[in-house]
Amino acid sequence: MAAEMNSGGCFFGSRPAARGSASNRPTPGGTRPGQRHEEAMAESTSGKIVAYCGLVCSECGAYKKLKCQGCHSDRPMFTNCPVKKCAVSRAYSTCADCGDFEDLKGCRKLNNIVSKIMGFVFRTNRIGNLRRIREIGLERFKAAD
C-alpha cells in the first residue's frame, strides 16, 4: 500500500517541473506538479473542486489535510478509480456528462457498495451532486454555496 501511495496516490516528494514545460501547466483540478495545495486553492476561481463522481473535493477531509489533490490532479488519493478511468476515457468533466444512464444509480462504477461506504464516510451525496450538475451545469454548481 505504501508503495502505491508513493507512486501516485500522494503528492509528497513530487518535484516541480521545468519552467515552461507542458507538465508545469495546471491540471483540471487546479494544481501543478510541485505546487503547494494552498496555492492551488487560492488560484481556484470558485474554490470548489468537483471530482468525476460528484464528490466536492474541496470539502473533503483528505483534500483539506493535504493527503489528496483531487482526482482531476495528477496526484489523486485513489489512483485506480474506475469512475475516473471511465470519465477520462470519454473526456467527461464529471459523470453528469454521461448519457448512458438517465438515472446515475444505474451505473455500477458509480453506485456500488464501496461507493456507498465512501459516501457515508465522507458524508456526501455524490449522485445528488451529479443530478444538480445536470440541472444547472458544472460552473453554476461550483459557484453555488
Pairwise CA distance, residues 72 & 88, whole Å: 9
Which pLDDT tens digit goes with each residue over 80-95?
889 999 999 999 999 9
Pairwise CA distance, residues 46 & 60, whole Å: 16
pTM greater than the 0.75 cutoff = no
Q: Tell me what the pLDDT averaged over the chain comes to.
A: 73
What contacts 118, CB < 8 A, 6 or more positions away? none
Task: Say whether 56 sits in a helix, a strand or coil.
Answer: strand
pLDDT of 36 above 70? no
Which pLDDT tens digit goes with each residue over 44-73?
445 889 999 999 988 888 888 888 888 888
Alpha helices in the chain (DSSP H): 2-4, 37-43, 61-64, 82-89, 113-122, 126-136, 138-143
* Pairwise pLDDT comparison (54 vs 23), residue with the higher score: 54
